[in-house]
Amino acid sequence: MKILADSHVLLWWLDDPTRIALPARAAIADPANLVFFSAASIWEIGLKASKGKLRIDGDIVTVLQADGFEPLPITMAHAARSLTLPDTHGDPFDRMLIAQALADGLLLVTRDRLILQYDVPTLEA
C-alpha cells in the first residue's frame, strides 16, 4: 500500500503516535507499506513553526526519513490536479495533499473532516 501522511499525522507520529488511530498507525508502521510525506507538509509545518504556532526540534525531514518515510515533491501534475478540485477546502496545503494522493494513487491518512469529504482514498487518523 502507498500512503501519504497529512501534516498533523506527521507531527503526531513524531510527538505522540498514540494520537493516531490504531489502524492508521499500524498501516504507517507496516514495513510492507510505502509511506510518503509531502513537500507541502514540510512547508506548512515550517511556516507554523516560524510563526511560533508549534515547535520543531531538529531537522524534521531527516527524522522522518530515518523513520522510513519517503519525501514526495510537488510536481506540475500535482499543481494541475489541485486546480480541478471542488472548493470544499480552502487550505492550499491540504488541497495539494488531496491532489497528490489523487494523482499518484496514494491513500491519504488524515483526521481533517474537510479532506474526508473529498472523493479521495483516505484512512482516518
Contact at 8 Å (CB) between 88 and 99? no
Q: Which residues neighbour 1 within 8 Å (Cβ) at sequence distance 6 or greater? A: 27, 30, 32, 33, 34, 107
| pLDDT value at residue 36 | 99
C-alpha 21/C-alpha 34 separation (Å) is: 18
Residues (pLDDT < 70) of the chain are none
| pLDDT value at residue 101 | 99
| pLDDT value at residue 56 | 86
| pLDDT value at residue 52 | 93
Cβ count within 10 A of residue 1:
12
Its pTM stands at: 0.95
Termini Cα distance of the chain: 16
| pLDDT value at residue 18 | 98
C-alpha 61/C-alpha 79 separation (Å) is: 22
CATH topology of domain 2-124: Rossmann fold (3.40.50)
Q: Where are the domains of the chain?
A: 2-124
